[in-house]
Amino acid sequence: MDQTNLSRLSSLLIASFEREEIKNQTKTGINVNRFVSEIATWYEKFRNAMDYRDEEVVRRAAIERILKRRLFFGGNGEKIAAPLMRELLWARYFPDSSISDEEIKKVGLVIDLYLELRKQLLAKPEVKINVDSLIYQLLSSHLEIMLNKSKDIELISNFIFHILRERITIKDDSEETRDIQVFIAVRKAFAKDDMAFLRFHLFEQYFGKITEGNIHMVAANFAKGYKELERQLRYPLKERIIAYVKKQLPPFLILADVLRKQRGGIRNLISNTAEFRNSIFAAAQTRYKSISSKVRTAIIRSVIFILLSKFIFAFSVEATYDNIVLGYIAWNSLIINIFAPALLMVIASLFIRTPDINNTKRIYDRIMSILFVDKPELDRPLALSLKPEGKHPVLNFIFTILWWGSFVLIFYYMSRTLTDLKFSPASQGVFIFFVAIISFLTYRIHQTAYSYTIQVRQNFLSPVWDFLFMPIIRVGRRFTEGLSHINIFIYVFDYLIETPFKEIFGFLEQWFYFLQTKREEMG
């Protein structure tokens, strides 16, 4: 196929990849002790398992966590930057020796910039938000993006945005709002941005990049701009747009893999149709094989998250209730409450299936359309309205009653079954609470497993599934988000264990360096 027939957007994307070369990690930066790094890495894996996050935002969250701990007793960029980067190198968030002294100086300057913004915002009575929380989110996001050597995610996200924005319409709102919502959806669905990243990107959209020259202007206009930013993050149609974007992603995900792998020779590859087709099929098969690994990792992290949270509830709520009301601990229900929900998640994962070759053919066809058609036909366009036209109030009332009826019915029969099994009211509450969370986490895992699948038609059982389980999944989502914020294990690790732990790491590293120096003195 003639490569000159590439669409304007795909030609620009390929040109960007040809220019954007991943720089080799130079061995001129600071290095850390391998033994200390090994221990720190295992610590981080265990710590992250307690905090349910996508892998793409784990490093940003680690930066935020370290900043909170390091700045708790005060300090500035110069004092914080080097220890921050050393901790990240210990945990292998960056390769050893990949962070130079010059980059550490830049990190210090950025920290000082946000500390100054924090100071100015706290001095303004009209700013009535948790300034510290916002500053940590913005600062950690800024540092993560600044230190990330690869710009692939930014390039492909921008490409997806420009293709999909024309296929989404909000009838009773502005194009500007539509564009912001599509931007949020692409960042959330493709780049896997968490709320901190989304706030940072929107913050820069409204205020521009923070510099010493504009920080006073940002602080002066903050209240008005932040109100609009939060309005966009709470937009009523946001989730529906995100769901639509997710459905369009499979061809973009596979195309991204080919672009990364071929980088400098992608134009020549595309010009050879057979070879390009083989590359697409090979990339798809590689991704299909990785599904089981990703699902397994998600299950392990979810199970650890659930078990640790369950121990808190089981022994602080259930065991306390049993002691006070029953006079003894009902160990049977306690053990079932701890292990049964996690077992249900593992069983549900056994029903996940790998996409077949027909799915790969559909991905290839869509990639060809994306590359060679200026306005490619993907899925049906999405037309939304804040106030849907022709919405029948009586039918809407009936549907709402049915929706909540299914919710009440399921939990009623769950409670009845648990009563027959001699569960106390507290045990039933804990069990139902975590079944809702398990339902949501299992749903997330299934979403991950089918992220490379193009759905041709809806499964005939989907309406039944939605009717019976969606209310529980939605409740589970709220519970999971709330549980992440109140998980006592996280606070114990972050403020009581991590600080002395990291001090020990630092001591060990200095000790090993001292021993190495003495050995070198021996010749």
DSSP designation for 384: E
Q: In the predicted model, is pLDDT for residue 322 greater than 70? A: no
Question: By the 8 A CB rule, do 132 and 118 touch?
Answer: yes
Give percent above pLDDT 90 in the chain. 32
Task: Tell me what the pLDDT averaged over the chain comes to.
Answer: 81
Q: Is 2 left (phi over 0), alpha (psi -120 to 50) or beta?
A: beta
- Domain-located, residue 444: yes
Q: Give the model's pLDDT for residue 491.
A: 58
Beta partners for 382? 168
In this structure, the answer to whether residues 247 and 127 fall within a common structural domain is: yes
Query: Helix-strand-coil percent breakdown of the chain, rounded to 5?
Result: 75, 0, 25
183 and 277 co-located in one domain: no
Residues for the chain: how many in total?
523
Same domain? 204 vs 329: no
Same domain, 285 and 427: yes
Which comes out higher in pLDDT, residue 233 or 424?
A: 233
Q: State whether 242 and 357 are in the same domain.
A: no
One domain for residues 291 and 413: yes
CA neighbours within 13 Å on the CB side: how many for 414? Answer: 20
Contact 388, 175 (CB under 8 A): no
Specify which residues 168 forms β-bridges with. 382
**Inter-CA distances, 117 with 18, 76, 362, 404, Å:** 38, 13, 49, 46
Q: Look at residue 337 in the predicted model and tell me its pLDDT.
A: 66
Q: What is the pLDDT of residues 490-503, one digit of tens each?
A: 656 555 666 666 76
Global pTM reads 0.80
For the cut 60, the answer to whether the pLDDT of residue 345 exceeds it is yes
SS3 for 168? Answer: strand
Contacts of 284 (CB under 8 A, 6+ apart): 254, 355, 359, 360, 363, 452
Rounded mean pLDDT of 413-426?
79
Instruction: Give the residue-averaged pLDDT of 181-207.
Output: 94
Highest mean pLDDT out of 95-109, 435-449, 470-484: 95-109
- Distance from the Cα of residue 193 to its chain's centroid: 5
Q: How far apart are CA 520 and CA 379, in angstroms?
A: 66
Q: What's the rounded Cα separation, in Å, for the pair 519 and 76? A: 36
The phi and psi torsions of 64 (rounded to 5 degrees) equal: -60, -45
Residues 99/89, Cβ–Cβ less than 8 Å = yes
**Which pLDDT does position 372 carry in this prediction?**
92
Q: DSSP label at 21?
A: P
Who's near 46: CB < 8 A, 6+ residues apart? 304
**Residue 489 pLDDT > 60, yes or no?**
no
Both 245 and 310 in one domain: the answer is no
Do 264 and 18 form a contact (C-beta atoms < 8 A)?
yes
Least confident of 151-165, 166-180, 187-201, 450-464: 450-464
317 lies in the same domain as 440: yes
- Residue 179 clears pLDDT 90, i.e. is over it: yes
Q: Does 508 reside within a domain?
A: no
How far apart are the C-alpha atoms of 506 and 86, rounded to whole Å? 9
In this structure, the answer to whether residues 65 and 196 fall within a common structural domain is yes
Of 411, 272, 432, give the one whose Cα is nearest residue 337.
432
Please tell me whether residues 226 and 293 are part of one structural domain. no
Are 188 and 337 in the same domain? no
- Across the range 416-440, mean pLDDT stands at 77
Q: pLDDT > 70: what percent of the chain?
A: 76
Average pLDDT for residues 465-473, to the nearest whole number?
69
Q: Which residue has the higher pLDDT, 475 or 236?
A: 236
- Residue 62 in any domain: the answer is yes
Lowest mean pLDDT among 150-159, 329-338, 348-357: 329-338
Q: How many domains are there within the chain?
A: 2
Q: How far is CA 45 from CA 59, 147, 353, in A?
A: 11, 21, 28
Give the count of alpha carbons within 13 A of 77, CB side only: 16
For 53-82, the pLDDT digits (tens) are 777 888 999 999 889 888 887 889 889 999
Residues 215, 310, single domain; the answer is no
- Report pLDDT for 277: 93
Cα–Cα distance between 514 and 331 in angstroms, integer? 53
Please indicate, yes or no, if residue 433 is contained in any of the structural domains.
yes
Asked, for residue 258, whether it belongs to a domain, the answer is: no
Neighbouring CB atoms inside 10 A of 324's CB total 9
Task: Please check whether residue 503 lies inside any domain of the structure.
Answer: no
Most confidently modeled of 140-149, 420-429, 450-459? 140-149
Q: Say whether pLDDT at 167 is over 80.
A: yes
pLDDT in tens, 265-282: 888 899 899 999 999 999
- Amino acid occupying residue 513: Y
DSSP string, 235-285: -TTHHHHHHHHHHHHHHHHHHHHHHHHHGGGHHHHHHSHHHHHHHHHHHHH
Q: Does pLDDT of 484 surpass 60?
A: no
Range of the domain at 147: 27-251
523 vs 334, which has greater pLDDT? 334
pLDDT for 1 beyond 50? no
How many beta carbons lie within 10 A of that of residue 188, not counting itself?
Answer: 21
- Asked if 333 contacts 445 with a C-beta cutoff of 8 angstroms, the reply is no
- The per-residue DSSP string of 353-379 comes to ----HHHHHHHHHHHHHHHH-SS---S
For residue 460, tell me if it sits in a domain: yes
Is 208 buried (19+), middle (13-18) or exposed (0-12) by CB count in 10 A? exposed
Tell me which residue has tokens 């003495």.
518
With H, G, I as helix, E, B as strand and everything else as coil, classify residue 42. Answer: helix
Compute the distance between CA of residue 491 and CA of residue 504 in angstroms, rounded to an integer.
19
Q: Decide if 19 is inside a domain.
A: no
Query: Whole-angstrom Cα distance, residue 221 to residue 230?
Result: 15
> pLDDT digit string (tens) for 360-411?
999 999 999 999 988 888 888 999 988 766 566 777 777 778 777 777 887 7
Residue 475 has pLDDT above 90, yes or no: no
Confidence check: pLDDT of 212 > 70: yes
Instruction: Give the pLDDT score at 361.
Output: 94
Token representation of residue 409: 């019915």
Instruction: Among 198, 218, 251, identify where a domain stops.
Output: 251
Residues 6+ apart with CB under 8 A from 499: 69
Look up tokens 């700013």; give the residue.
127
The residue ranking higher by pLDDT, 469 or 409, is 409
Does 426 score more than 90 pLDDT?
no
Q: Does the pLDDT of residue 184 top 80, yes or no? A: yes
Check: CB of residue 244 under 8 Å from CB of residue 169: no
**Structure confidence at residue 127 as a pLDDT band (50, 70, 90):** confident
